[in-house]
Amino acid sequence: MNKVLIYMLRFVKSRQQGRQERRRRQEERHRFFQELYAMGKCPLNYNEKLKSQNELDSSLDLWSRVDVQTCTKWGAPIMWEGTFDPGDFDRHHIQKRTSVALTVFAIGRYLEVYLKEFLKSAEQYFMVELPVTYYIFTDIPEFVPKVKLMKQRHMKVIQVKNQKRWQDISMLRMKTIADFIESHIQHWHQYIFCFDVDQVFVGRFGSEALGETVGLLHAFYYRSHVKDYTYDRNPESAAYMVTGDFYYHAAIFGGTWQGVKNITEFCHQGIMKDKEKNIEALWHDESHLNKYFWLHKPSKVLSPEYCWSTIIGFRFDIRVHRLLWATKFYDILRT
């Protein structure tokens, strides 16, 4: 990282500290009341198992965690520490010779600030028992850091154009992923996970997360009331929602290659419909992702353990951290 960028990051970080302190007091009050909201409960009878075509999901110990919601009303598991045996999932997928694609976009300064730590931590914790290929989409492929990879791990760099606005980068990734699944990924991998780059793995993110379509509960909203979810409320937008089941975080989504292709094509089509009307959804591709999962329920849901923010602080129900938000430098990275 060059000296000018280091100086800029330090300067921005010092400016942020004062604002963060003011926000912290407000957030602490909000979190206090949020803790009082009870999560929903698994609608099954006590000790009843999921009725799933997936025998591993049917074997989950949903009732080992009565403090949280461990399944949805449509019968999908919500993955929490203590509900699954990691070895069972790993053995199953090793036997099935499961291969996983990981996509990540590292555009502009995001590459220099975040990509190396993202990749190094993924090598420690992401699907470590399985073959994984990292597909890195960037505008400056010559700057992609060299990271030592384990056996059966590979990296492919795909050059893409930068965009004038970070919002366009975020939204255009849906079309890019869909196109690349069609041209390449479907021929090599059964599963795919799509990540934001400004995150760091800190614990097991394993094969228990694999499913047909996989959504992630947003760490800031998993104990909020549905009226507080930040869905797009504009009736003119293709992402418009009045209500929903959960609020999903677009920092991570995944599934089989066909499942993710369906997700990304749906989101891209919605974005294009809005663009024709000169509309932009409130939270861009995340708003369209939430609309997709409202209409097409995910087959598996990941708890906030799989993408936690330390800004939230301690929560009794978060027993492990698997992925953490990295420090955000929006003031300079999004300009």
Residues 6+ apart with CB under 8 A from 209: 79, 193, 254, 300, 302, 306
- The response to whether 112 counts as a known ligand-binding position is no
- The response to whether 110 counts as a known ligand-binding position is yes
Note the pTM of the prediction, 2 decimals: 0.88
- The response to whether 196 counts as a known ligand-binding position is yes
Given the residues 208, 280, 286, 305, select the one marked as catalytic.
Answer: 286
pLDDT digits (tens, 9 = 90+) for 98-120: 999 999 999 988 899 999 999 99
pLDDT at 32: 46
Q: Does the structure show a pLDDT above 70 at 335?
A: no
CA distance 330 to 311: 16
- The response to whether 198 counts as a known ligand-binding position is yes
pLDDT at 171: 59
pLDDT digits (tens, 9 = 90+) for 164-220: 655 566 557 899 999 999 999 999 999 999 999 999 999 999 999 999 999 999 999
pLDDT digits (tens, 9 = 90+) for 247-288: 999 999 999 999 999 999 999 999 999 999 999 999 999 999
Angle at 99 between CA 297 and CA 326, to 5 degrees: 70
Domains present along the chain, CATH in parentheses: 37-333 (3.90.550.10)
- The response to whether 221 counts as a known ligand-binding position is no
pLDDT at 14: 61
Annotated active-site residue 35? The verdict is no
Q: What is the mean pLDDT of the chain?
A: 89
pLDDT at 9: 63
CA distance 247 to 221: 6
